[in-house]
């Protein structure tokens, strides 16, 4: 594959991550408006919210089997428009069954989209021979910030969901579809197509990464769902100030992922993951013990800088552990993204109600620290490769010689 082809493929995939960040943020930040539009009761709302990650997990499982027959780039090319159109459908519907149908389509397509995006990211990193995965996830974080900002504009202007979503989808859908022409894989065909008779990845090797993925998303969903309530109800902030921690978290996530690849290339993924884990644990400890809102926001800053490196490096580690079955490994690993998302928010809420919210913040801290026990799963081999993209001083993070 030519260097130009790799560069175009990398840029196109970064655009896809960005578009997905925008779409997801536009959905989750307007949940109260969606609830009001369709008259969804408080009792029924958790069912709708849980259905999306459950169906996303099903979409990831389906993608594992689908990429045995077609390339992940084709799955990505067609799943992203479905996500955007489903988002528009959520804004256009009028009755309950319509939003249920659209959210169902959104969930299944997101599962296929997340899995195929990370499959392509890992294969491109393999071709480059150096860490580039954090850059893709930085594009997702940037999209999340843009999407949340657009949602704020729509809410402040009292725009309907459809009017708020339509111009965004009208711009992003053709951009993503045109960009999909340059999707590229860093290998000569899909893993499964090159050796489907070998079976799937050994769960013994994959389980540590699955735990890390789930625990990282438990931490992430804790920030997403409870930061505002925690700052206002526990730390006594104003309602306006309570909206700041999540924005700080997203910005620090973007910063951490933007510079994180440099750290991985210089120090290796094991050290970067260990440092990120410790920093995230410190963040939860600061939040739990904060005497006031401003110290609490410092804790959320540490959380963003720490958690942001773990998920991209977990996908990259799966690609190294299973060089002949990376697509299957990533599809299975991606399921635990949604497991963590499903478990995190109810877990912290239940502990907060039964005990207290300060104590509840220590639980995701302990779970994130478990990553230290599995840090060696992120280790890379000392050999170099990658078509001239690698520099001698950098750590090789692209592949591993481990068998299945």
Q: Which of 83-92, 147-156, 184-193 has the highest mean pLDDT?
A: 83-92
Q: How far is CA 357 from the centre of its chain?
A: 25
Helices (H) and strands (E) in the chain — how many of each?
A: 15, 0
Q: In the prediction, which pLDDT does 381 show?
A: 58
Percent of the chain with pLDDT over 90: 65
Q: Is the pLDDT of residue 261 over 90?
A: yes
Domain 201-381, CATH:
1.20.1250.20
Residue 190 is predicted with a pLDDT of 43
Q: Regarding the domain with residue range 1-185, which homologous superfamily does it belong to in the CATH classification?
A: MFS general substrate transporter like domains (1.20.1250.20)
Question: 3-class SS at 398?
Answer: coil
pLDDT at 400: 41
Q: Identify the band that residue 187 occupies on the pLDDT scale cut at 50, 70 and 90.
A: low
Which parts of 308-354 fold into alpha helices (H)?
Answer: 310-321, 326-354
pLDDT at 353: 86
- 3-state SS assignment for residue 390: coil
- The answer on pLDDT for 394 being more than 90 is no
Do 15 and 179 contact (CB within 8 A), yes or no?
yes
Going from N- to C-terminal start, the domains of the chain cover: 1-185, 201-381
Predicted confidence at residue 200, as pLDDT, reads: 64
What CA–CA distance (Å, rounded) separates 207 from 198? Answer: 19
For 352-374, write each residue's pLDDT tens digit. Answer: 888 899 999 999 999 999 999 99
Using the predicted structure, report yes or no on whether residue 71 has a pLDDT greater than 90: yes
């Amino acid at each position: 594959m030519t260097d130009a082809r790799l560069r175009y493929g990398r840029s196109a995939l970064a655009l896809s991550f960005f578009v997905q960040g925008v779409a997801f943020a536009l959905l989750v930040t307007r949940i109260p408006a969606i609830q009001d539009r369709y008259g969804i009761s408080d009792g029924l709302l958790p069912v709708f919210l849980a259905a999306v990650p459950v169906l996303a997990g099903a979409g990831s499982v389906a993608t594992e089997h689908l990429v045995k027959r077609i390339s992940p780039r084709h799955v990505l090319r067609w799943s992203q428009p479905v996500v955007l159109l489903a988002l528009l459908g959520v804004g256009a519907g009028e009755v309950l069954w319509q939003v249920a149908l659209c959210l169902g389509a959104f969930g299944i397509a997101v599962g296929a989209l997340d899995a195929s995006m990370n499959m392509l990211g890992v294969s491109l990193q393999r071709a480059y021979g150096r860490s580039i995965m954090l850059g893709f996830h930085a594009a997702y974080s940037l999209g999340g910030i843009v999407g949340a900002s657009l949602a704020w504009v729509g809410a402040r202007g009292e725009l309907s969901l459809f009017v708020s979503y339509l111009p965004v989808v009208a711009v992003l859908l053709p951009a993503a579809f045109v960009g999909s022409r340059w999707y590229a894989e860093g290998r000569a065909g899909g893993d499964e197509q090159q050796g489907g008779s070998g079976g799937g990845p050994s769960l013994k090797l994959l389980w540590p990464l699955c735990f890390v993925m789930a625990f990282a998303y438990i931490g992430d969903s804790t920030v997403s769902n409870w930061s505002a309530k925690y700052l206002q109800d526990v730390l006594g902030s104003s309602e306006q100030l309570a909206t700041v921690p999540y924005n700080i978290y997203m910005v620090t996530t973007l910063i951490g992922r933007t510079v994180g690849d440099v750290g991985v290339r210089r120090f290796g993924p094991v050290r970067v993951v260990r440092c990120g884990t410790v920093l995230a644990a410190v963040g939860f400890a600061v939040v739990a013990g904060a005497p006031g809102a401003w110290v609490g926001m410092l804790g959320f800053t540490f959380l963003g800088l720490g958690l942001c490196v773990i998920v991209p490096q977990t996908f990259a580690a799966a690609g190294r552990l299973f060089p002949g079955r990376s697509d299957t490994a990533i599809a299975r690993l991606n399921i635990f993204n949604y497991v963590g998302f499903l478990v995190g928010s109810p877990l912290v809420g239940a502990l907060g109600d039964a005990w207290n919210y300060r104590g509840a913040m220590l639980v995701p801290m302990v779970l994130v620290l478990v990553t230290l026990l599995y840090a060696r799963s992120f280790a890379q081999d000392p050999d170099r490769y990658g078509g001239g993209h690698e520099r001698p001083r950098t750590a090789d993070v692209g592949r591993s010689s481990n068998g299945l």
